[in-house]
Amino acid sequence: MKRKWIGASLALASVGLLIGPQQGAEAATPKIKVHYIDVGQGDAIYIKMPSGEDIVIDGGNKGKGDALVTYLKKQKVGDIEVLISTHPDADHIGGLDEVLDSFKVKSVYAPKVKHTTQAYKDFLLAVKREKLTIKTAKAGVSFPVKGVKAQFVGPVKDYAKSDLNNWSAVLHVAYKKNTFLFTGDAELKSEQDMIAKK
């Protein structure tokens, strides 16, 4: 009876040794973290990629840049690998000039559509101050992130200049079993075009 108990204890200890490291490795598996930041009207998203890259999508309205910068600093963001302006409406692009002024940004993506608002002009001036070139965000364009597939699936085509929402850069991100679709303000026409392109 005593021997059986000792044998069972050793078996459990062995199982514990086998399970322990696996659980530790599982806990240490890098994760993707997506933050939907409250900027009131508009949009601002921060993504921490599993390999450490920082992605920012949109910056809320004019006057929301400080709040966004504060939030990013609380998340210990040091620099931003990819900054995306989904489209030039003020409630999406308004705070991005302050983000550009506050962090080293490596790449900027935006759809190839212009606007006449002050928010859009401030964004362009901030990009220029950082000596960056805006890369075109459109269907088929991807950017390298280790272990993650990050590709624009919209806009699929050019739309009327008055139809800014459908110009929205739509980003599809896939990591392991997790997939995300960041849509900006894409409307029915753009959605139908993306579906038609599968």
Assess whether 118 and 24 both reside in one domain: no
Assess whether 77 and 133 both reside in one domain: yes
Q: What's the confidence (pLDDT) of residue 5?
A: 40
Q: CATH code at 55? A: 3.60.15.10
Note whether 34 and 47 are within 8 A (CB).
yes
184 sits in the region (left: phi over 0; alpha: psi -120 to 50; else beta) called: left
Assess whether 19 and 106 both reside in one domain: no
Residues of the chain predicted below pLDDT 70 = 1-28
Q: What's the confidence (pLDDT) of residue 27?
A: 55
Query: Which tens digit of pLDDT belongs to each residue from 140-181?
Result: 999 989 999 999 999 999 999 889 999 999 999 999 999 999
Domain span including residue 79: 31-196
Provide the whole-model pTM. Answer: 0.84
How far is residue 185's CA from residue 33's CA, in Å, rounded to a whole number?
22
